[in-house]
Every structure is written in C-alpha cells, then in structure tokens.
Structure 1
C-alpha cells in the first residue's frame, strides 16, 4: 500500500494544491543518497517514481526496507526535528517531490485546519508503519499479499474510505506533475 495515501486521504484538494505549489520535483540518480543517517534534512519527500533502499549504520549498514512510488520519506525527522535514524539511497533513477521543511512548518503554524489534517494523517501513517514493523519483527518475515490485504481490511471504515480517496488524489497528483513536466519541456 502506498503510504502517502494516508496523508492525501486526510488532506483537502486545496491542501494538496498548496503542497504542489511550494514543492519541487527532484530527479535522484541511482546510488545517490537522498537522506543520510545523522544529518539534518530540510525537506519532506514523496517518492513519485523509483525505488530507494533504507539502511541503518547500527546494523552494519544493513538494508532494512525498500521504498517505492507513493512512500513518504523524512517524516520522522520532520515531526521530532531530530536527524534521521536511517540512510535512504536511490536504488534506481528516481523522482521525488521535495516539500521544504520551513514552508511546511510555517503553513502548519498559520493554518490550524491544515495542521489538524496533516498531523492526523501523519499519526495514522506512523501508526500503520509501526504496526507493520511489529508484525515483521514478530514473524521474522515480510507479510504476504493476503496478510497485507487483511491488515488493510482491519482499518477503521473511515480510514479505509480515506485511503480510496488518497489513491484517487495520488493518481491526480501524478497526472498534474506530468502535465507540469510537459509544459516545462515545451
């Protein structure tokens, strides 16, 4: 499941328009580190296309996860303002939407409605991520497709509905970004 769906499902169309307006698209070449463990970052990222590996130094730079289109990166450091606890590296040439930390923080301070929706979305997202981590640690393996579907079906009905809305908005976001790229090339 694309994790950005939790966020896009909670935000309004106007919120998403604002995020697109203040963000930039960044092409990340294969092998390039997007986030380095222990070094502060100045953006929140949404993976538009591509694949990233996540590794942790304390585990001997062991890869602990793979992230792809629709994943959010840098959210923990955004919330707690601490350096990242892992390194995120492009496995293939990738495209991310980079949302500047300062502008996002200012919007959260100035727009209480946006802040409420955004932080609720992050709480749901982080809760889902933690449940997935606990599940993997307890079973010692990645969940099967059937197990992932069962996990999604166990979500509260309003969250499941928002995921469907988030999926529609992610597809809309991709079409909009592609349109912006086509205009830039002209």
Structure 2
C-alpha cells in the first residue's frame, strides 16, 4: 500500500475531497481487463481491494507484476498520452477508484496548486516504482527497498488517513 501514500501524501485535503467528489467506483471480476495493451487509457485508477496482474500480452502468460490495494494504475499513460505496452487483468474480485483524464486535466488547468502537487506526487510515485524495479533486477540495495525518504515521511500519516477516507467512500470493503 505504500505507493498510494506517495501520491496522496502530496495532495492537500481540498484536492483529496475533490478526488472523492469526482471519481467513481468500479467493481471488477476475475478475468476482467482494466487496461488493454495498445488501447488508450482514459482514466487514472487506485486499487482499493482485490488483485490485478500486469501482463506483457492480453492473457495471463508473461505476467510482470501483481497489483494490490494501494497501487496507482494508468499513471504512465496519463503522463505520456500513449497507449500502454501492457495489459492489466483482474486476478481476484477487485474494487477500483477511477477518475477520468478529462476531469483531472480540467482541474490541472484551473488550479495551479493542484497541478504542482499532482505532478510532484506522480514523480515521487514513479521514482519509487523505478527504484523497486531496479532492485528486483539486482541493481539496488535490498535493505533500502522499504525505506521512505524523509521528505516523503511527513505526508505518510496524512496519506494513510486519506486512503482510508477513499476506501470508506468507494469500497465499503
């Protein structure tokens, strides 16, 4: 769940409230596809419960990673506006928070504080993911994998309560 903390820890309470008001809940069953390789992604997602697999093709062969509660999904396609190179397939019944690219883009255009916080949060999230991937490839220090940067630590407790607020609003898990 640590990854969503990077994201939510750098938004303010108004931004989180805006996310709650403008997002929706998706309930997905095993075998459903959240993201299809090569097809545009029009939303940003947070996994609230369940499990998904990141796969190099459109089936369960060649799965690269498992995603569980607290993972942010669709962020690369959001930033780059390019179709994904992988599929994300539900491997256990899941509840997902979804917010459309259109709504986020409108907020980014009209609120400079949100824009700065949002992009900084995504940068930290992606940096953490890259660090973990580098470690899994054998190039990192395994002892550092669960360390949290002191600059990020301040927002972690607040981020945890924000994630619980999203869970309570959307998942009823």
TM over 0.5: yes
Aligned residue number for residue 184 of structure 1: none
Aligned residue number for residue 132 of structure 2: 132
CA contact (8 A) 2:26 2:96 kept: yes
> 172, 177, 181: which is aligned to 2:165?
172
Cα distance in 2 for partners of 1:168, 1:29 equals: 27
CA contact (8 A) 2:53 2:67 kept: yes
Aligned residue number for residue 52 of structure 1: 52
Aligned residue number for residue 102 of structure 1: 102
Aligned residue number for residue 4 of structure 2: 4
Deviations 1:67-105 (A, max 9, x none): 011100000000000001210000011010110111101
* 1:162 pairs with 2:173: no
Which runs of 5 or more structure 1 residues have no equivalent in the other structure? 182-186
Count of residue pairs brought into register by the alignment: 170
Aligned residue number for residue 90 of structure 2: 90
CA contact (8 A) 1:9 1:166 kept: yes
RMSD across aligned positions (CA) = 2.0
Q: 1:139 Cα shift?
A: 5.9
Please identify the structure whose Cα radius of gyration is greater.
1
Aligned residue number for residue 117 of structure 1: 117
Q: 1:61 Cα shift?
A: 4.1
Deviations 1:12-57 (A, max 9, x none): 1110111111111010111101100110011110111100000113
Which runs of 5 or more structure 2 residues have no equivalent in the other structure? none
* 1:65 pairs with 2:85: no
Cα distance in 1 for partners of 2:19, 2:34 equals: 20
Provide the secondary structure at the position in 1 that maps to 2:83. Answer: coil
Aligned residue number for residue 41 of structure 1: 41
Cα distance in 1 for partners of 2:139, 2:62 equals: 19
Cα distance in 2 for partners of 1:7, 1:76 equals: 14
